[in-house]
Each structure stands twice: as C-alpha cells, then as structure tokens.
Chains A and B, each alone.
Chain A
Amino acid sequence: MASWFKSPASETQVTHGQRLWLYVFAVITMILLVLPTLIVIPMSFSDSQYLEFPPETWSTRWYDNFFGSDEWMQAMRTSLQTAFLTMLVATPVGVAAAYGLHTSNVPFVRMAFVMMITPMMVPLVLVAIGAFYAYVQLNILYTVTGLVLAHTVLALPLVVIVSGSALKGYDMSQEQAARSLGAPRWKAFFTVTLPQIRFAVVTSALLAFLTSFDEVVVAMFISGGDNPTLTRNMFNALRDQIDPTIASISTLMIFVTTVMMVLAQVFGQQRKP
C-alpha cells in the first residue's frame, strides 16, 4: 500500500502520494454533485413536515397528496403531453434542418446555422416574455399548442447540433451508393443514412423531451389556466412555502427522466443485422 503512494501517476512522474489531495478533493466534489439529486428520493418518503434524512417514519403521504390532487394531476398530464409532442415535432424538424444544412451548398448555410442556434443565445427570459406577448396576439396563450411550439423552438438547436455532428462524422458516399443503386434521395436517407445516425437522432429526441419537461421560465408565462405545467406549479409552490409534496414530485420527475434515458439507450443502440 505504501508503495502505491510512491508510484508514478503520470508521464511527469508525479506520485500518487503527492496527488492525494487531488483524489480526495475530486471524490468529495463528485459526491456533492450527485448527492442533492439522490437525496430527494428517500426524503420524499419521510412522514415529517420537515423532510428529514434519514426519514424517521416512512410514509407515502406526499405521494398521496400529489396523486390525489386534481390540480397536480392536470399539471402532470400537461407536462407529459407537451414533452412528448415537443419531442415528436422537434426531432423530425431538427433532423431535416440538420440534413438540409449538411447537404446543400448554398452560400448562406453558415448564416442559417447561426439562426438555428439563436434560441440558445437569447436570454430565456426574453424569449419567455416575447412569446407571452405574441401568444396573446395570436390567441394561443395557455394552450398546449403554444407550449409545444415554444418548447420546440428551445429544443431545436440541440437537435440540430447533435444530429448535425453525427452527419459530419458519417460517410456520405453510402448515400451516394444507395442512389446509384436506384434509390431517390429521400429513400436513400431513410434506408441507409438514418439507421446509422440512429443514436444521435434518439439522443436528440431525448434532449427535446427533457428540454420541454424541465422547462420553467417560458412555461411560467405561457402556461396556465387549464394547462399549467408541472414545473410552473412547482415553481409557484416553491416561492410560497416549502411544500413537501414537491419532494415526491421531484422524485417522480427523476423517475420519468430515468425511464426516458433507458428507453433512449434501448432504441438508440445500433442494431446489428
């Protein structure tokens, strides 16, 4: 054991012993990175009003609170619905855009790409109040449609970037081969290219889903009435008082996210022939 401390840890011959502080520091940091997220889960099962850890008494009262409340259920429904729809809209629109930008030789491709990522560069608050005003004019305030459109715009840069980089690493001569064999461009894309950028497309879809599901600021302004989102209600609840129900909702959100990620892994795997 003592010899390990003296053994070199890198090309510069610095030893493990000299680096011990780094190892300790890194481990502590990683624990702190993960801890808050994980700790919410057991705390949500605590019976007490003050969310103790470890819980003295275990109960599911906060979950009952959540599932029993029409308001929360409506919000959950809206959030899930919006997230799925955002995923279904943003993914094909974004992948098509990435493909179009990758294959067209128009001189303003650079400009178009910059335009695609503007939602990432403009401060979210600005997007939120802008959409709020626009939706009042278009009469789609507090609708799921409006939410999906706004969240799609927020998710598009991610989809375009992830699919775009997959396309960059892809050998386009395969699509050419397919076309020389008799496939029109769109068929060549669906039968040859898409299966091979599968992982990126599925990841983009996941990112789109999560962008929508987790989104707070824009939802604060444009969701409400009959269609508040889960995050919007959660945020309002947080501002008022620390309602422990939030802990159960948080755990459920973590659960939903995890399920989606697992599904993404399953669907994203390159299928071996």
Chain B
Amino acid sequence: MTTTALRPNEAGLRTDGRLERLRLFGLSSPAMLLILVILVIPVGWLFYVSFIGANGEFSLENYERMIKRKSYVRIFITTFQVSVLTTGLCILIGYPLAYFMSQLPNRLANLCLITVLLPFWTSLLVRTYAWLVLLQKQGLVNQWAMNLGLWDEPLKIVHNMTGTLIGMVHIMLPFLILPVYGAMKAIDRDYLKAASNLGANPRTAFWTVFFPLTTPGLFAGSLMVFILCLGFFVTPAVLGGGKVIMVSMKIVSNIELFVNWGAASAMGVVLLIMTLVILWIASRFLRLDQITSGGH
C-alpha cells in the first residue's frame, strides 16, 4: 500500500452519502415536527409554568403546596394505592390466566387470546360505562349475587374505591397478560422435561424453572400497568364517584374549575417525572422494545 494512493471521487462520494442519509432521515421529519409542536414544546412550557407562582414570578410554591397541603398529599397517596392495588390484582388474576392459555393447544389458545384482546378493542369509555351500569345498586352484579345468596342487601360497589378497582383491573388486565403470555410461550418445553427428569415434582418445577423464566414478561407487564394507572383519568373519574381522587383528576379540576395553571402543571410535571423514573429503572433490566411491545 503506497502512502500516496489515489483517492478519486472522494469529495463527491462523501456528499452523495450525506445527501442520501439526510433524505432518509427526512422521512421521519413530519412525525418529529408534529410531536415537537404538539407535545414537546407545550409540555416544556408547562414545565416552565410550574415554577411560576400566583404573583407571576419564579417560585416553588406549586411544588410546596403538594407537600404541605393535606388534600394534595391525600391525592398522591390515593393514586399510589390505586396503582399498586390494581397492579397487584392484575398479577394475581392475569398470571394464572396467561399460564392457562400457554398450556393450551394453539387453536384454543388463540381463541382465548381473542377474549383477552376483545376488551382492548372496545372503547375505554364504553367499558367504564358498562361497569357503572353493572355495579349500581339495582345493577346486574347485585341482582345475581342476591339471587345466588351471596349477600342480602345491595352492596355499594360503585362510586367508591371498590368500583374503581374493579374497573381499572378490567381495563389493565390485557396489558399484563400479553407480555406475560409472550414470555411463557417463549419458554422451551424441554426445560420442564429436564426438571422432571432430574426429580422435580410439578410444583417445584414450576417455581424453580418456569416462573423465573417468565419474570421479564411479568416485570414488563406490571410496569406498563403501574405507569398507566398512575396517570389514569377516565375510569376513576366515573367509577370513583368523587371519592377516589387521582392526580390526573386534580390536574383536570385545577384547569377546568380554578384555571390554576401553576398548580396543574406542577402536578403534571411530578407525574411525568415519576413515570420517567420508573421507566429508567425498568430500562436497567429490560430493553425498551420489550415494554412497548407489551402493549399489544
């Protein structure tokens, strides 16, 4: 190799390369522009506003209010309660169902998958409304329970925490089931055969081999559910009857009723930061695509 080798067309080729890369990247520019204008900039502005006090100057009062005022602290506690409970219930109900599906032959499994996905495709509002109707005093649940002798008087299972949880779990279940089911399907059957062969009884085989292999999917699903619960609005607003106040609802009322942009944006920022922190923690253990693909 000579040190004075010819390099014909070098500049031209470099330009061609740059142009092509630019053109291809440019295909994503409309999307990025839209997201920038409609989302990033306004949220950025909200971030700024959260630091503006009632007097129009820089202040931390919006954030202090969240720590000092009892009503605000209540709201955060409630939000966490609902999120944790919903996630926990989803795991308890969803994991066995996913396990059941993973043990079925393909055709039956697909059929069950449809029942899991069906609520997905139905409007959130419609499902929330359906529970509202089912859970009311003279609603179906009370009727059937009383007919079956489960309880004598109509229970108040809506317009409170119970109703909210029922609704939230119903909405969130598919988000947990799908990644867990995916993880389960991916487990090589041979592992279980090996476990049996080595002397494990079914229960041991399950807890020492099968379950650990599903943890990434379980983790991804739980995370997804938890994050969704934190910011959720519609279901608690309708089924909570005003008694279950979540952060999102307070943000809405702050704008609608009080036009208090400072308070609302501060709460929103806190919500956003909580979400990002959780996602960051998750990214230490999972790839980002695992979480996003868990949504379908």
Contact = CB atoms under 8 A, between A and B. Distances in A.
Q: Do chains A and B touch in the complex (CB under 8 A)?
A: yes
Interface of A: 9-14, 18, 22-23, 25-26, 29-30, 32-34, 36-37, 39-40, 43, 50-53, 93-94, 96-97, 99-101, 103-106, 112, 114-134, 149-150, 152-153, 156-157, 160-162, 165, 210, 213-214, 216-217, 220-221, 231, 234-235, 238-239, 242, 246-247, 250, 253-254, 257, 261
Nearest to A114: B288
5 contacts: A12-B206, A34-B118, A37-B127, A112-B25, A253-B123
Contacts of A13: 196, 202
A183 B169 CA distance: 52
Contact of B39 (A30, A96, A130, A221): A130
Closest 7 CB pairs of A and B: A100-B27, A130-B42, A123-B231, A36-B130, A104-B24, A14-B202, A26-B100
Given A29-B97, A96-B31, 8 more contacts: A9-B103, A114-B288, A124-B233, A134-B41, A162-B296, A217-B234, A239-B237, A253-B125
B192 A12 contact: yes
Given A30-B115, A123-B272, A22 B231 contact: no
B261 interface: yes
A76 B40 CA distance: 30
B189 interface: yes
Contacts of B233: 124-125, 216-217
B27 A96 contact: yes
Interface string B123-159: 1111111111110101010000000000000000000
Contacts of A9: 103
Contacts of A126: 43, 46, 231, 251, 268-269, 271-272
Contact of A156 (B34, B192, B265): B34
Nearest to B248: A125
Interface string B241-256: 0000000100110010
B115 A150 contact: no
Nearest to B200: A12
B293 A161 contact: yes
Size bin of chain B's contact surface:
35 or more
B144 to A, nearest CB: 10
B34 A132 contact: no
A111 B40 CA distance: 14
A116 B196 contact: no
A51 B27 contact: no
A257 B124 CA distance: 12
Nearest to B174: A33
A50 B271 contact: no
B252 A133 contact: no
Task: Tell me the interface secondary structure of chain B in the complex.
Answer: helix
Given A22-B96, A239-B238, A130 B127 contact: no
Given A37-B119, A220-B252, A231-B123, A153 B35 contact: yes
Contact of B115 (A33, A162, A217, A234): A33
Contact of A12 (B37, B100, B202): B202
Given A11-B189, A217-B234, A257-B122, A152 B99 contact: no
B31 A156 contact: yes
A91 to B, nearest CB: 11
B101 to A, nearest CB: 8
Contact of A133 (B40, B42, B202, B288): B42
A156 B35 CA distance: 9
B285 interface: no
Contacts of A37: 118-119, 122, 126-127, 130
Interface string B263-285: 01100110110011001000000
A210 B121 contact: yes
B206 to A, nearest CB: 7
A232 to B, nearest CB: 10
B268 A50 contact: no
B112 interface: yes
Given A123-B268, A129-B264, A150-B38, A97 B32 contact: yes
A100 B275 CA distance: 28
B91 interface: no
A231 B45 contact: no
Contact of A125 (B28, B115, B271): B271
A115 B134 contact: no
Contact of B125 (A125, A156, A210, A235): A235
B43 A127 contact: yes
A115 B133 contact: no
